Amino acid sequence: MLVRFNEISPHGSQYDIRKIDGIEGSAGLVLCGSLDVRCSLTRKGDAKVELQGWLKATLLLECDRCLASYRREVDTALQMLFEVETGASWQVKDLDYRIPDLDTIVLDAPVIDLDDVIRQQLYLALPMKSLCSDQCRGICSRCGANRNHGPCGCADEHENSPFAVLAQLKKE
C-alpha cells in the first residue's frame, strides 16, 4: 500500500492492515494466522511524516537445532519518522547527526510503502538464533534423529574424540 504525503489528513490518517501481498513469497517469512497492523500517519511538516502503531502476527519458523517447525508470536510497537531530503539539507545533515536523526528513514520521494515497512519490521522481529525452546537438544549428528523425542540409540563415542583426553583431565 503506497501512501503519498499529500494524501495524509492534517489530523492524521489511520490504517488497519490485515494482509500484505507477496509476503508469503519472502524468504524466511511464513505467516500462520492473521496479520494485525494498526497504525497512524501524522504529518510533521511538508517533508516529514511520523508513523506510530502496533504490529501483531504469528510466524512459522524452523528451529536451527532440530529443524522442527514452531510458531512465534510477534507483538511489537511501531514508531518511525519518514523524511524527504531536500537538496540543501543533505550538506548540513552530513556534518551534524544527532541520535534522533538515526531513527529517521530518508525517502527519495514523498511516498511511504506501508507493505515494505511492515515486511521489514517482521524481519527485524525474527530471532538471531531460531530455537523451538531453550531446552532443545537438536538432532543426532550420526543418525539424524530428533533428540527432543528421546534418545536415538547411537553409542557415545567420547573415547574416540580428540577431546576425550581433556575430559579425563577435568575428572582428575
Tens of pLDDT along 125-140? 888 999 999 999 999 8
pLDDT for residue 85: 78
pLDDT for residue 156: 61
Whether 45 and 79 share a structural domain: yes
* Number of domains the chain contains: 2
- Which residue numbers in the chain have pLDDT < 50? none
Whether 87 and 70 share a structural domain: yes
Q: Supply the range of the domain harboring residue 143.
A: 139-172
Whether 163 and 99 share a structural domain: no
Whether 89 and 144 share a structural domain: no
pLDDT for residue 153: 78
pLDDT for residue 20: 82
Region of residue 99 (phi > 0: left; psi between -120 and 50: alpha; otherwise: beta): alpha
Whether 127 and 147 share a structural domain: no
94-129 in b/e form (b: 16+ CB < 10 A) is: eeeeeeeeeebeebeebebebbebbbebbeebeeee
Percentage of residues of the chain with pLDDT beyond 70: 82
pLDDT for residue 91: 52
pLDDT for residue 89: 53
Whether 40 and 80 share a structural domain: yes
Where are the alpha helices (H) located in 46-106, listed in sequence order? 89-95
